[in-house]
Amino acid sequence: MLTSNTRELLDRLRTGQLAVSDVADLEHLSAQSLIRELQAHYPVVFQQRALRQKQETGLARRVSHEFAIQARADRLFPRVQVCARLWGCLLVSSYDDVVSELTVIASIQVLPSRRPVQGLILKMDRGYKLDRTPDGWAVKPLQRCSVKLSEEQLKGRGWRFDVLSPLGRKP
């Protein structure tokens, strides 16, 4: 169960109305306890990576599978692909178990790509990032963006493909 402070912080961050003074509680909360608290409402762990003292965790409320249809003038039938969409995403980064970044994104669509090389396209909706800088906390708006990465790059970043597969297994 999310505490009222955590729920309020996430709601304010999601709407972009979080004041830097609202994050004082994060400074006294261990990152691991925050992640454990969040996992009750964000059960899909799609990313988990540890690099020395840095920890990165990606959580989502749910995963859905959709058809991506691409019509082409030179083809009789459209190209149809199954893609995954992560809904209600949170990205938590920490150093030495202290939260350093909290990002809220409405959804991340994961599409296969074959050109110019095989990989995945991540289409991210708008969101907000709460970032700890040397000058203190800062809230930054995030615009919709699309990035193409190879499967090896995503594996290196700790992405868990088993949660993206419609059959529940690694592709």
User: Residue 116 pLDDT > 70, yes or no?
Assistant: no
Tell me, yes or no, whether 87 lies in a domain.
Answer: yes
Tell me, yes or no, whether 92 lies in a domain.
Answer: yes
Strand stretches in 23-126, DSSP E? 44-51, 54-70, 79-95, 98-113, 119-124
> pLDDT tens, 24-66?
777 778 999 999 999 999 999 999 999 999 999 999 999 999 8
Question: What is the average per-residue pLDDT within 97-103?
Answer: 93
User: Residue 171 pLDDT > 60, yes or no?
Assistant: no
> pLDDT tens, 132-146?
888 888 899 999 999
Tell me, yes or no, whether 133 lies in a domain.
Answer: yes
Residue 117: the pLDDT is 66
Tell me, yes or no, whether 170 lies in a domain.
Answer: no
Tell me, yes or no, whether 171 lies in a domain.
Answer: no
Domain extent for 150: 4-163
- Number of domains within the chain: 1
